[in-house]
Structure 1
């Protein structure tokens, strides 16, 4: 929570329950110019699947500001990473999954 503030960035917090809606998350990324996100891998999969369908139909999903995505809390599958890179080819994905996510996240 404090990491962005230490370098002069802003923190964007989803409205209650908003983190469960891929379209809401995408709209916040676009509207606020979010450059770094954190996802639980299962939600990243839902996000990528929902937005991937839209990108195929419309060509763009408005995630151009996104530079880096952190994932932790459960195993991260290759499909989610590949799907995200299909939407945002230059995005850097950091997998923080490990023996205890708290220790891995804090160490990272």
Structure 2
């Protein structure tokens, strides 16, 4: 079984993904069986399947790098459980970089 998820990248994040601002992807419902796919699984899946360059600007340790705002269905992921949030079919997940050079 798979889940259909919409991913969006902005604030400069799209540069890491070959200038793609969004993607609709199908991911396994359980990347680490028997557990359902959660945000941490999704972050690693994105790194392994979509990220085109400079993974250090997207991921740090086991999560997104500090300075990246993550929204799950228009809600800050901190209110949804962050890495433990279980991905659902139809979720809309946005990654926005708040870090800018000068």
TM-score range relative to shorter protein: under 0.3
Between structures 1 and 2, the one with greater helix share: 1
- Higher RCO (CA-CA < 8 Å; seq separation 6+): 2
Larger Rg: 1
TM-score of the aligned structures, taking structure 1 as reference length: 0.27
Between structures 1 and 2, the one with greater strand share: 2
